[in-house]
Each structure stands twice: as C-alpha cells, then as structure tokens.
Amino acid sequence: MYRQGDVLIVPVTESAVPQDVRAAGPKNRRPRESMILALGESTGHAHALVATRDEGDFYPAPAESDPAFVFLPLGGKVVHEEHGTIPLPEGWFKVVRQREYEPRALRSFRVVAD
C-alpha cells in the first residue's frame, strides 16, 4: 500500500477491478498529461500520477465515494507539491480518497479536502 496525503493507493489484481469500471474504459488524456488522482480543494495542488514512458490508463471513480483504478504496465510515480514522490511498480492499483465523518451532513461521510 502507498499513501500520499488523503490518497491511498492499493495494488490489486485486474480481476478486482469492477466490471462497470472496465466497461466504461479509461479516461482519455493527452500525451504526457499526468493522471490527476485528487485535486487539493484548499491548496490547489494535485496528487498526480505520472506513468513511465506515458504508458498507463486511469479509470475514474463512478461516484465520489467509489475508488478509481489505474493500470501501469511499466510503473510510474505519484507526485505532489507538498509531499515526497512515491515510485510505483507495474500493475493495477485501486485509488481511494480518505473520507471523514460529518454528523450534520445529509450524508454521514465526505471526501477529505486536502
């Protein structure tokens, strides 16, 4: 497992990726464009994934409370302006945003604002 701020990155097998996420396909991105895992609402900084040789796919979360998934055939690294860089090996990863309990909200939990 890897953690950077409010983002948890967990290695998984391809079979752990839900069928509806795989069916929706990866998000289109321009060459050399990093994959944004989470935007910092309070700082404006982003947790971004940079794939080795630009080889990788980002499968966005269907809903805010769901995990996203990433496939890195050659590995990559997670970068952020306020955190250290985290190298990632090749493979599939589940990306989970930290949540916090909010007793006064309609929904009991909300995604943490970094």
Find residue 97's DSSP bridge partners. Answer: 7
pLDDT per residue over 58-95, tens digit each? 999 888 778 999 999 999 999 988 888 999 999 999 99
Q: Where do the domains of the chain lie?
A: 2-111
- Per-residue pLDDT, 98: 78
Percent of the chain with pLDDT over 90: 53
Give every strand in the sheet of 7-12, ordered side by side. Answer: 2-4, 7-12, 91-97, 68-72, 57-59
pLDDT band of 43, cuts 50, 70, 90: low
Which tops the pLDDT comparison, 110 or 76? 76
CA–CA gap between residue 97 and residue 103 (Å, rounded)? 19
> How much is the mean pLDDT over the chain?
85
pLDDT per residue over 25-42, tens digit each? 999 888 888 898 887 666
Chain centroid to CA 85: 14
Are 12 and 93 within 8 A, CB to CB?
yes
Residue corresponding to tokens 């970094």: 114
Are 94 and 88 within 8 A, CB to CB?
no
